[in-house]
């Protein structure tokens, strides 16, 4: 049943004009930035060749492109996740769903899988830009794989957080704004910790930006993977508990 719910979720998403508008806008904006970064790389290449450890196109073009993509998607993912449960609550269809023989775990995992498939499609589309460079230059394949995995894990985390916050309200606007606020806090918590001067180690570990940047640089640590898995699992469990509570009411 998890796959049935995921299939329903992804079909509903792609039947919505919002999903196609989001995909189109992201492709246009990042396509423009990709060409700009390539142009800058071509201008800087003669100077870079004089350096002892010359940074490649992966470092100068691909990593900055996906850093920008992460910032843009931090603002856009709340628009994708806001409807998952909030719309069901508003349309009174969530009551039918949670009163069905399905477990809350199946419902939540099904919806999360639907969001993950959308994220997988989105990131795979974005990866076509750097992959096109293989026709004319050498890329660091290891870093490219690390960047791809980083984007999947990052957006899956965004999806899990958005899923939970959408389950708390029947207002899609509130769900979107609260999700953006939560994601922004996780993004800047490292800077807040440095400014405050206390709890810097805790803030650094909680910072989603710190883990994302590490993987963008091609450094794939178990601690980064564990961070994302714990974050995703925590918010999925919170969502399940929330729906269990709604079922009892």
80 within 8 A of 115, measured Cβ to Cβ? yes
Query: What average pLDDT does this structure show over 111-124?
Result: 96
CA nearest neighbour of 123 among 233, 27, 190: 27
Q: How many whole angstroms separate alpha carbon 121 and alpha carbon 9?
A: 14
Distance of CA 210 to the CA centre of its chain: 14
The pLDDT value given to residue 139: 84
Number of domains in the chain: 1
The pLDDT value given to residue 116: 96
> In the numeric block, which tokens belong to residue 42?
């071509």
* Whole-number average pLDDT of the chain: 88
The whole domain housing 6 covers 2-248
Query: If you write DSSP's letter for every residue of 86-101 in order, what string do you get?
Result: HHHHHTTHHHHHHTSS
Q: 46 pLDDT band (50/70/90 cuts)?
A: confident
Continuous H helices in the chain: 2-15, 17-48, 57, 63-81, 83-90, 93-98, 104-131, 141-166, 172-196, 200-206, 208-216, 222-248
112 within 8 A of 27, measured Cβ to Cβ? no
Whether residue 168 is predicted with pLDDT greater than 90 in this model: the reply is yes
CA nearest neighbour of 234 among 119, 157, 151, 154: 157
| pLDDT tens digits, 30-40 | 999 999 999 98
The pLDDT value given to residue 135: 83
Query: What average pLDDT does this structure show over 68-77?
Result: 95
Query: What average pLDDT does this structure show over 146-156?
Result: 95
| pLDDT tens digits, 175-214 | 999 999 999 999 988 776 566 555 567 777 888 988 898 8
The pLDDT value given to residue 220: 82
The pLDDT value given to residue 54: 67
């Amino acid at each position: 049943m998890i796959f049935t719910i995921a299939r329903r979720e992804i079909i509903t998403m792609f039947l919505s004009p919002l999903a196609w508008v989001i995909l189109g806008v992201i492709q246009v904006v990042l396509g423009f930035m990709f060409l700009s970064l390539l142009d800058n790389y071509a201008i800087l290449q003669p100077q870079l060749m004089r350096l002892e450890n010359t940074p490649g196109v992966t470092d100068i073009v691909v990593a900055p492109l996906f850093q920008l993509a992460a910032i843009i998607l931090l603002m856009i993912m709340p628009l994708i996740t806001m409807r998952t449960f909030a719309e069901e609550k508003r349309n009174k269809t969530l009551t039918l769903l949670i009163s069905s023989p399905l477990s809350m775990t199946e419902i939540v995992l099904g919806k999360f899988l639907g969001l993950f498939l959308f994220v997988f499609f989105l990131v795979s589309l974005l990866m076509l830009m750097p992959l096109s460079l293989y026709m004319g230059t050498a890329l660091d394949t290891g870093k490219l794989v690390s960047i791809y995995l980083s984007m999947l894990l990052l957006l899956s985390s965004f999806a899990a957080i958005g899923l939970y916050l959408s389950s708390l309200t029947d207002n899609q606007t509130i769900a979107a704004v609260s999700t953006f606020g939560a994601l922004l806090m996780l993004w800047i918590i490292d800077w807040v910790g440095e400014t405050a001067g206390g709890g810097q180690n805790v803030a650094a570990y909680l910072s989603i930006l710190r883990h994302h940047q590490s993987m963008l640089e091609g450094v794939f640590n178990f601690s980064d993977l564990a961070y994302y898995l714990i974050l995703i699992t925590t918010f999925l469990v919170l969502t399940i508990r929330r729906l269990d509570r709604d079922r009892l009411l």
